[in-house]
């Protein structure tokens, strides 16, 4: 599929075997809830896009995100050292996205944020299937991490769902892939391949609900001799289709709707994550937290991303269950008004 939006101005919906070449949102026939056709300013204002790259390993946890929210560009990066409990993190907010640029091609192009001597850059290459994260901060922190969806072969989750009365969301998820590269920081220097790090990647864009919330879970690592990844959500991307799935050695296995049970006021305590079809039954205990709050009236966010360990069982239909024992991963609890 060359473009997500068809000639009639409507998106292709469903789960796709590969990413569209372009998320051509400007061609969308965007209407008000009452059916009035909306112009270029409304299309720009309501379109939101974000990309996330996560690192998971017993010696180092990390995350970096960039988001284009039209009226503001935001980014964050953090590193957590499990052995010492030490963490470094930075947040950036740029009015009108000045200092940011975003490609609308999920498998090609660059999304980046620059502020002073700080750079957050996510690069996707269609020729090699490579996803790369480059972070350079004014305190000397440097992250250069990458993985390929082709070595070995990996099947990403590519999905587009209708959202509310007049929107849609395209999402592309990867988890359970080995990661290579280097990290230099106040927490120490790390060779990601040597420490056995895994990666998670998320590329999402569209016309999301003006006020929304979601929970999300992801893990990546080795279990029962398999490379295992997991991507589950509740609250978004589940109208007609869901993005819920896990991967075994790169093979995508679809999962039904899921339920998150947790204490919103104490996010480091135990979470329960279970799917309706019985394929997923996991508990999660947090060891660290990245959180942000923003309330400007017209735009607001209450965001908690918790990193910690999952335990439990994955039960692919007709196959031997996979035991998950103390595997590193993430959960999220997020409210957004945009």
Strand order in the sheet with 109-115: 100-101, 109-115, 118-125, 130-136, 142-148, 180-185, 188-191
Instruction: Enumerate the β-bridge partners of residue 31.
Output: 37
Look at residues 291, 297, 292, 304 and name the one whose alpha carbon lies nearest to residue 211: 297
User: 83: which residues sit within 8 A by CB, 6+ positions away?
Assistant: 59
pTM to 2 decimals? 0.95
Among residues 265, 261, 258, 264, which one has the least CA distance to residue 236?
A: 258
253 phi/psi in degrees, rounded to 5: -120, 115
For residue 172, how many other CB atoms are within 10 A of its CB?
24
Local confidence pLDDT in tens for the 338 residues of the chain: 999 999 999 999 999 999 999 999 999 999 999 999 999 999 999 999 999 999 999 999 999 999 999 999 999 999 999 999 999 999 999 999 999 999 999 999 999 999 999 999 999 999 999 999 999 999 999 999 999 999 889 999 999 999 999 999 999 999 999 999 999 999 999 999 999 999 999 999 999 999 999 999 999 999 999 999 999 999 988 889 999 999 999 999 999 999 999 999 999 999 999 999 999 999 999 999 999 988 888 889 999 999 999 999 999 999 999 999 999 999 999 999 98
């Amino acid at each position: 599929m060359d473009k997500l939006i068809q000639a009639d101005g409507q998106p292709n919906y469903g789960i796709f075997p590969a990413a569209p070449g372009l998320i051509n949102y400007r061609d969308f026939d965007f209407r008000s809830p009452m059916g009035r056709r909306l112009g270029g300013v409304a299309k720009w204002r309501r379109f939101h896009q974000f990309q996330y790259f996560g690192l998971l390993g017993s010696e180092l946890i990390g995350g970096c995100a960039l988001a284009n929210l039209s009226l503001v560009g935001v980014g964050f990066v953090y590193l957590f050292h499990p052995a010492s409990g030490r963490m470094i993190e930075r947040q950036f907010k740029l009015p009108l996205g000045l200092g940011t640029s975003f490609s609308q091609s999920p498998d090609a192009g660059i999304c980046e944020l620059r502020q002073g001597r700080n750079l957050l850059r996510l690069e996707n290459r269609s020729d090699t299937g490579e996803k790369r994260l480059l972070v350079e901060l004014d305190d000397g922190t440097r992250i250069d991490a990458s993985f390929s969806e082709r070595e070995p072969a990996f099947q990403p989750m590519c999905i587009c769902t209708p959202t509310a009365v007049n929107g849609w969301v395209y999402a592309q998820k990867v988890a359970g892939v080995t990661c290579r590269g280097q990290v230099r920081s106040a927490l120490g220097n790390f060779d990601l391949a040597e420490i056995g790090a895994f990666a998670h990647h998320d590329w999402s864009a569209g016309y999301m609900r003006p006020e929304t919330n979601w929970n999300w879970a992801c893990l990546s690592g080795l279990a029962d001799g398999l490379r295992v990844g997991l991507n589950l959500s509740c609250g978004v991307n589940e109208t007609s289709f869901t993005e819920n799935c896990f991967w075994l050695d790169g093979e995508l296995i679809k999962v039904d709707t899921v339920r998150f049970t947790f204490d919103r006021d104490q996010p480091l305590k135990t979470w329960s994550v279970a799917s309706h079809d019985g394929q997923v039954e996991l508990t999660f205990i947090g060891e660290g937290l990245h959180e942000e709050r923003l309330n400007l009236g017209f735009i607001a966010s209450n965001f908690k991303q918790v990193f910690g360990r999952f335990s439990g069982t994955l039960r692919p239909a007709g196959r031997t269950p996979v035991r998950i024992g103390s595997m590193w991963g993430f959960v999220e609890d997020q409210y957004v008004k945009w």
